[in-house]
C-alpha cells in the first residue's frame, strides 16, 4: 500500500475563493487532512461562483468544485466566544493553518499567530494576501486582476493594439496559492529537523513578479524595457505564431540548427545564408521581414501537416487548441491530468488531480468537494465535543 507524503498532517483551512484554496488543495492531494473552516451561513464565497446557477444555489458552484477536493467542511462562527474556544482546541491538534484574510483580521479576533503559537509552538501559520502583511499597500483590498495590473504582467501582454491585456485566467491567485503550498512544504521540512513552527507571509504581488524573470532581467540588468510583441517570442526568431492554410501554428525555432531545419522543411535553403537572417540576433531584429516570407510557404499546407513534419525534424511546433480540445487531447488523457470524481447529488465530474507524478508517494483525489458543514460533527468529535454539546452549538448558531 502506498503512503501519502503528508499522511498524518492536519491543516486548518480558513481560506476563500482561489489563492488559499489552491494552496490547501495541493496539501490535500498530497494526503494531508484538510479541514475547511467556513462561516455557518454560506461558507466559502466560491460556493456561489460559477456558470451553473443551480450549483450556485446549492452552494456547490463550479469555482468551488474546482479547488476543494480532498477537504472536509466544518462550519464555525469565529466571532462567537464558543467558536473561538473550539478553534483554539482545533489549533492545538493542527500542524498547519492557512488563511487569506486581510492583515490583522485574525489578530482582531484574538486569534493571531502570536496567540496561537502559545497554544501550539509547532504550528505552521501561512497567511496569503494581495500585498503581504507589511508595507504601504498591505491593507489595500486585492483581487487577481488588480495584482495583474500592479505587477506589470498586463503591460507586457498583447501588442500595440491590445495592451494592456490580462491573462485569461487568474494567474496571480493561482501562483500565489502554489507559492503558499511550496512554502508550507519547506516549513514542514524545517520543523521535521527542529521541531519549530513558524509564520509564513505570502503576497500575491511578490509571487507573480519572479515569473516575469526573463522580461524583468532584460530591464534590470540589460536596461531594455519590454517590447510589445503579441504572440512573438522575444528570445528568438522565428518563434511565435504563424498563419497556415487553415489557421495558425506555434513555432519555436530557438536554436540555430532548428532555424536551419525550418529553412529546409519550407524549401527556403537560401535564407540560411541571407545576411538578414543568418545569425540569431540579426534574425530577431528582422523578424518583420522574415515572417511574411515564412507564411507565404506555410499557407500552402494545414497546421497539422506542418506540425508533423517540423516535429519530425526536431523543430518544436504545435497546434493552437481551444480549451475544449486541449482538455480532450490524448496526451492529457494519457497523463491522467483529469480525474472523474463522483459528487453526491451532482454526479461524476472531471477534476484536476496532482500533476506531479510521484513514484513512491503518489497523490490522489480521495474525497469529493464537500457540502457545507458536511464534516462538522466528525471534526468536533475529534477534539472531544459531545453530541449534546454539538446540538447546543447549533442552536446558538456557532456551527
Structural domains of the chain, with CATH: 10-211+333-395 (3.40.50.10540), 248-319 (3.30.1540.10)
The chain-wide mean pLDDT, for the chain, equals 96
Q: What is the pLDDT of residues 50-84, one digit of tens each?
A: 999 999 999 999 999 999 999 999 999 999 999 99
Q: Which three cell numbers stand for residue 300?
A: 500552402
Mean pLDDT throughout 160-188?
96
Specify whether the CB–CB gap between 181 and 356 falls below 8 A. Answer: no
Is the per-residue pLDDT at 343 higher than 70?
yes
DSSP structural state of residue 371: P
Cα 114 to Cα 199: distance, rounded to the nearest angstrom: 9
CA angle 194, 118, 137 (to 5 degrees): 90
**pLDDT bucket at 105, cuts 50 / 70 / 90:** very high
Cα 331 to Cα 320: distance, rounded to the nearest angstrom: 15
Share of the chain above pLDDT 70, in %: 99
First CA to last CA distance, the chain: 37
Q: What is the pTM of this model?
A: 0.94
Cα 63 to Cα 55: distance, rounded to the nearest angstrom: 10
In sequence order, the 6+-apart residues with CB closer than 8 A to the CB of 320 are: 241, 247, 248, 249, 250, 303
DSSP structural state of residue 359: S
φ, ψ dihedrals at 341, nearest 5°: -125, 120
Q: What is the pLDDT of residue 235?
A: 87
**Closest of 300, 321, 318, 320 to residue 308, by C-alpha:** 318
DSSP string, 220-265: HTT-------TTS-TTSSSEEEEE-SSSEEEEE--SHHHHHHHHHH
Mean pLDDT throughout 186-214?
97
Q: What is the pLDDT of residues 254-295, one digit of tens each?
A: 999 999 999 999 999 999 999 999 999 999 999 999 999 999
Cα 156 to Cα 152: distance, rounded to the nearest angstrom: 7
Is the per-residue pLDDT at 1 higher than 70?
no
Is the per-residue pLDDT at 218 higher than 70?
yes
Q: What is the pLDDT of residues 225-236, one digit of tens each?
A: 998 888 998 889
Is 173 a residue of the active site? yes
Catalytic residue from among 104, 173, 246, 274: 173
Q: Which three cell numbers stand for residue 371?
A: 457540502
Is the per-residue pLDDT at 302 higher than 90?
yes
Q: What is the pLDDT of residue 3?
A: 78
Q: What is the pLDDT of residues 348-368, one digit of tens each?
A: 999 999 999 999 999 999 999
Q: What is the pLDDT of residue 97?
A: 98
Cα 392 to Cα 3: distance, rounded to the nearest angstrom: 38
Amino acid at each position: 500500500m502506498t503512503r501519502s507524503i503528508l499522511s498524518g498532517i492536519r491543516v486548518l483551512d480558513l481560506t476563500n475563493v482561489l489563492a488559499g484554496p489552491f494552496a490547501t488543495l495541493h496539501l490535500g492531494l498530497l494526503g494531508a487532512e484538510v479541514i475547511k473552516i467556513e462561516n455557518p451561513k454560506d461558507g466559502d464565497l466560491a460556493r456561489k461562483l460559477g456558470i451553473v446557477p443551480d450549483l450556485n444555489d446549492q452552494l456547490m458552484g463550479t469555482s468551488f468544485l474546482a479547488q476543494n477536493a480532498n477537504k472536509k467542511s466544518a462550519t464555525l462562527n469565529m466571532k462567537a466566544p464558543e467558536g473561538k474556544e473550539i478553534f483554539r482546541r482545533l489549533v492545538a491538534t493542527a500542524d498547519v493553518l492557512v488563511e487569506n484574510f486581510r492583515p490583522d483580521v485574525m489578530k482582531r479576533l484574538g486569534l493571531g499567530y502570536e496567540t496561537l503559537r502559545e497554544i501550539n509552538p509547532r504550528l505552521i501559520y501561512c497567511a496569503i494576501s494581495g500585498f503581504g502583511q507589511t508595507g504601504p499597500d498591505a491593507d489595500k483590498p486585492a483581487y487577481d486582476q488588480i495584482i495583474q495590473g500592479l505587477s506589470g504582467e498586463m503591460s507586457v501582454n498583447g501588442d500595440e493594439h491590445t495592451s494592456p491585456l490580462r491573462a485569461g485566467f487568474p494567474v496571480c491567485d493561482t501562483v500565489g496559492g502554489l507559492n503558499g503550498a511550496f512554502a508550507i512544504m519547506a516549513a514542514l521540512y524545517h520543523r521535521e529537523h527542529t521541531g519549530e513552527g513558524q509564520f509564513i507571509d505570502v503576497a500575491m504581488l511578490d509571487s507573480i513578479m519572479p515569473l516575469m524573470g526573463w522580461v524583468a532581467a532584460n530591464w534590470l540588468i540589460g536596461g531594455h524595457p519590454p517590447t510589445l510583441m503579441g504572440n512573438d517570442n522575444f528570445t528568438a526568431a522565428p518563434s511565435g505564431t504563424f498563419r497556415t492554410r487553415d489557421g495558425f501554428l506555434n513555432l519555436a525555432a530557438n536554436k540555430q540548427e532548428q532555424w536551419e531545419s525550418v529553412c529546409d522543411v519550407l524549401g527556403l535553403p537560401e535564407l540560411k545564408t541571407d545576411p538578414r537572417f543568418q545569425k540569431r540576433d540579426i534574425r530577431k531584429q528582422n523578424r518583420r521581414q522574415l515572417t511574411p516570407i515564412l507564411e507565404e510557404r506555410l499557407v500552402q499546407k494545414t497546421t497539422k501537416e506542418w506540425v508533423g513534419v517540423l516535429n519530425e525534424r526536431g523543430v518544436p511546433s504545435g497546434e493552437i487548441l481551444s480549451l475544449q480540445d486541449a482538455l480532450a487531447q490524448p496526451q492529457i488523457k494519457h497523463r491522467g491530468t483529469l480525474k472523474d470524481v463522483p459528487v453526491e447529488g451532482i454526479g461524476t465530474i472531471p477534476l484536476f488531480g496532482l500533476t506531479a507524478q510521484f513514484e513512491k508517494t503518489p497523490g490522489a483525489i480521495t474525497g469529493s468537494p464537500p457540502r457545507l458543514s458536511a464534516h462538522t460533527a466528525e471534526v468536533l468529535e475529534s477534539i472531544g465535543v459531545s453530541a449534546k454539546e454539538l446540538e447546543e452549538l447549533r442552536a446558538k448558531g456557532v456551527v
